[in-house]
Amino acid sequence: EPEVTQTPSHQVTQMGQEVILRCVPISNHLYFYWYRQILGQKVEFLVSFYNNEISEKSEIFDDQFSVERPDGSNFTLKIRSTKLEDSAMYFCASGGQGGMNTEAFFGQGTRLTVV
Amino acid sequence: AQSVTQLGSHVSVSEGALVLLRCNYSSSVPPYLFWYVQYPNQGLQLLLKYTTGATLVKGINGFEAEFKKSETSFHLTKPSAHMSDAAEYFCAVTVYSGAGSYQLTFGKGTKLSVIP
């Protein structure tokens, strides 16, 4: 069964460092997303990506964040200069052609710890 | 903007008992509604969704939910709880907001414990 794969499963980084979280979406999907879940809080939308550009982003997704689909298979989230409050579980998701009627498949997440 | 409220951050039921997890939403336009389950150290798995049509939707693992527009609710139920149902459950809502956008708004989650 196709699945969304995220690496690494856990990343520890020092405050101020850049991190790149990687995702391999399901191969024939067209829509890609990043969500995050701070420990004990709800899952929050960060950004959606379609047709090689950001289609929507939340207030959380400020200039420190960027996304890229560099090679047609990977979908990455970069945090340029990490802050303590960036510590969270980050989920990648992808969806097929059906838009709202299509299920978004989530990866298992990358737990980012900023120290 | 849409929002989701899940009543009860933690629900405990006995094995074999009815499971009822409550979800209320607010949306200015007809919403699409979802329930996701998260097992420990795993990602989010879709249990069921309501988009259009029949308001009672059935999902995996014996769960079902009913969309009640008049009550702005989408409660999740299962007639008989199993130990394997212990997990965290998230209700989510989305409305169409443009090309390819799938901005899910999640509730805070309800952790379900099943007592043997």
Interval B15-32: pLDDT, tens: 999 999 999 999 877 788
Q: Of A82, A77, A100, A94, nearest to A2 (Cα)?
A: A94
Of A104-108, B38-42, B71-75, the range with the highest mean pLDDT is B71-75
Q: Which residue in A48, A51, A108 is closest to B102 by CB distance?
A: A48
With a pLDDT cut of 90, the percent of chain A lying above it is 64
- Chain B residue numbers with beta carbons less than 8 Å from the beta carbon of A53 are none
Residues paired with residue A101 on neighbouring β-strands, in sequence order: none
A95 touches chain B (CB under 8 A): yes
> What is the mean pLDDT of the segment spanning A90-99?
81
Q: Which residue in B42, B90, B100 is closest to A50 by CB distance?
A: B100
- Chain B residue numbers with beta carbons less than 8 Å from the beta carbon of A55 are 98-101
Where are the extended beta strands (E) located within chain A?
5-7, 10-13, 19-24, 31-37, 43-50, 53-57, 65-68, 75-79, 88-95, 104-106, 110-114
Q: Closest-CA residue in chain A for B103?
A: A45
